[in-house]
Amino acid sequence: MADTYRKRIADRLLAEKLSYMGAVLIVGPKWCGKTATASQAAKSRLLMQNPDKSAAYMMAADTKPSRLLKGDVPRLIDEWQMAPVLWDAVRYEVDRRGTPGQFILTGSAVPTDNAVMHTGTGRIARLAMHTMSLYETGESSGSVSLLSLFDAPEDVDGEADFSIEQAAHAICRGGWPATLNVSPAHSLNLAREYVEAIIEQDVSRIDGVEKNPDRVRALLRSLSRNISTMAANQTLLDDTAGGDTLTAPTLSVYLNALRRIFVVEDQPAWLPSLRSKTAMRTSAKRQFCDPSVAAAVMGLTPAKLLNDFNTFGFLFEALCVHDMRVYTRAIGGDVYHYRDKNNLEADIVLSLHDGRWAAVEVKMGMSQIEEAATNLKKLAAKVDTDKMQQPAFLMVLTAGEFAYRREDGVYVVPLACLAP
């Protein structure tokens, strides 16, 4: 594994958390590389899905879970949610040992409610892991550091070797680590396989409630058609009308299941303090864990995307949100969006835990940069800087080639130049 493992942004984050916490829980969608990353840091492993030992492990968990925690540390407990009692056992053992870096837990699903007795606060840190960003796949030059923009945003300089055709392929292929080990043509099939696994198995296994595959497929198709938009639940219901129609309660159950297996990860609204009383939209934008999910559900190929720039634009925005989420969380923040009643918007708002923030507009075409920069400056002027900081920077994120700073201070940065 050491010979084929491609370094991830999460490697550093995991090492940091293990240095001061007794245990670290890595969560994220199936196939995103949680086990491989955890295995790089682990000294011993308990693989709950090992078919030869799973039954014995489950029996041990029922009778004496502490037996499963014995081993060199950090000890990896993979897919711990198969035996939720292990959570409380780890929490107890962390308290008993009183030393950081004891356990790494991974999980591709949130267990059923009330499956664990304690939250793990102060004992178990949480690390969200994602599919690979362009920087991790090697497709981003990494010449523009997001943290550097926050720390010293005087100038930028970078060049991307990433064509529109490559962007279309990256969207359809996704950031699944396994795609790096197969041919480009076969890599497009992995996202389709992932979607089929969601529909036929994963979404029902999460809570043991059987779900109609046709309804799941219809919901995923509606979410895909509405990706990077603030489509309301009623819009999804109307969009799936006909055949096995979803009801409002069923929609809620299905969406919750998709969130619990980390397939759906919406982009929440940013609610800043403004100088004037302007009504802000509070709805989240619809997003998946990876834009390839939407492409696979809609049967899109790179060639089809290149012939439909409207859909391409929404999916390119989803790719930008995905990568920005990876980078921003790595430097201590998260990703939001902004829109008010006057339709002034920012596709992405980066908000760090220390109060610093930045606004970003996503534009594939260079002809749209001027309009995007104007909108960003309007938003910055509306924020009440008596209550909030000035924006650290304003950025137009593009599919272009060069990174530069405009005379008005707005940055123009290709997605394939970014790194944490």
Count CA atoms within 13 Å of residue 106 on its CB side.
30
- Separation of alpha carbons 129 and 131, rounded Å: 7
Asked whether the predicted pLDDT for residue 242 surpasses 90, the reply is no
For residue range 302-324, list pLDDT tens digits in order.
999 999 999 999 999 999 999 99
Percent of the chain with pLDDT over 90: 78
**Looking at the domain assignment, is residue 329 inside a domain?**
yes
Q: Do 20 and 39 sit in the same domain of this protein? A: yes
Q: Are residues 91 and 235 in the same domain?
A: no
Cβ(218)–Cβ(250) below 8 Å: no
Task: Give the pLDDT score at 2.
Answer: 43
pLDDT for position 408? 95
Q: Tell me if residue 139 falls in helix, strand or coil.
A: coil
Bridge partner list, 337: 269
Q: If you ran DSSP here, which 8-state letter would residue 242 be given?
A: S
Same domain assignment for residues 212 and 74: no
Order of strands across the sheet with 345-352?
158-159, 402-405, 411-414, 393-398, 357-363, 345-352, 333-339
Question: In terms of DSSP H, where are the helices of 138-290?
Answer: 146-151, 164-173, 184-197, 203-205, 213-225, 233-239, 248-260
Which helix (H) or strand (E) covers residue 317, if one does?
A: helix 309-330
Share the mean pLDDT of the chain.
92
From 128, 153, 177, the end of a domain falls on 128
Instruction: Give the mean model confidence (pLDDT) for residues 170-187.
Output: 93
Query: Mean pLDDT, to the nearest integer, of 199-218?
Result: 85
Q: What is the mean pLDDT of residues 270-284?
A: 86
- Residues 163 and 294: their CA atoms lie apart, in Å, by 21
DSSP calls for 42-109:
-SEEEETT-TTTHHHHHHHHHH-GGGGG-SSSSEEEETGGGSTHHHHHHHHHHHHH--SS-EEEEESS
**Residue 199 domain-assigned?**
yes
Would you say residue 2 lies in a domain? no
Which of 90, 113, 128 corresponds to the end of one domain? 128
Q: pTM of the entire structure?
A: 0.94
The helix (run of H) or strand (run of E) holding residue 295 is helix 291-297
CA angle 64/65/71 to nearest 5° reads 115
Amino acid at 242: G
Which of 81, 103, 128 finishes a domain? Answer: 128
Position 264 pLDDT exceeds 70: yes
Q: Are 204 and 270 contained in the same domain?
A: yes
Q: Do 247 and 326 belong to one domain?
A: yes
Is 4 inside a domain boundary?
Answer: no
Residues 100 and 185 reside in one and the same domain? no
| Cα gap 132→302, rounded to integer Å | 19
266 shares a domain with 159 = yes
Q: Are residues 69 and 144 in the same domain?
A: no
Cα separation, 28 vs 345, in Å, equals: 29
Determine what percent of the chain is predicted with pLDDT higher than 70.
96
Average pLDDT over residues 92-120: 81
| 152 contact partners, CB below 8 Å, separation of at least 6 | none
Q: Is the pLDDT of residue 59 over 70?
A: yes
Task: Give the integer Cα–Cα distance in Å for 66 and 97.
Answer: 13
What is the distance between the alpha carbons of residues 64 and 68, in angstroms, rounded to a whole number?
A: 8
Residue 3: inside a domain: no
Is the pLDDT reported for residue 194 higher than 70? yes
Q: What's the whole-number mean pLDDT along residues 351-377?
A: 95
pLDDT at res. 116: 56
Evaluate the CA torsion angle 261, 219, 214, 188 in order and state its sign: negative
337 in helix, strand or coil? Answer: strand
Three-class SS state of 307: coil
Confidence of residue 1 (pLDDT cuts 50, 70, 90): very low
33 and 158 within one domain:
no
Q: Please, what is the Cα angle at 313 between 311 and 316, to 5 degrees? A: 110
Q: What is the pLDDT at residue 127?
A: 96
Cα–Cα distance between 321 and 352 in angstroms, integer?
15
Instruction: Concatenate the DSSP letters of all residues of 248-270 into one string.
Output: HHHHHHHHHHHHHTTSB--BPBP
Is residue 191 domain-shared with residue 274, that is, in the same domain? yes
Judge if 295 and 325 occupy the same domain: yes
Out of 45-49, 288-292, 332-336, 370-374, which region has the weakest mean confidence (pLDDT)?
A: 45-49
- Are 178 and 321 in a shared domain? yes
DSSP 413: E
Phi, psi dihedral angles at 117 (to 5 degrees): -85, -30
Range of the domain at 80: 9-128
Question: How many domains, the chain?
Answer: 2
Average pLDDT over residues 146-174: 93
pLDDT in tens, 12-57: 999 999 999 999 999 999 999 999 999 999 999 999 988 889 899 8
Structure tokens given for 76: 């990896």
Nearest-CA neighbor of 176 among 319, 30, 300, 326? 30
**What is the rounded average pLDDT of the residues 108-115?**
63
Cis peptide before 391 (omega within 30 of 0): no
pLDDT mean over 141-157? 90
pLDDT for 394 equals 97
- For position 290, what pLDDT does the model report? 98
Distance of alpha carbon 361 from the chain centroid: 19
Answer yes or no: is pLDDT of 109 > 50. Answer: yes
Residue 121 covered by a domain: yes
The CATH number that applies at residue 19 is: 3.40.50.300
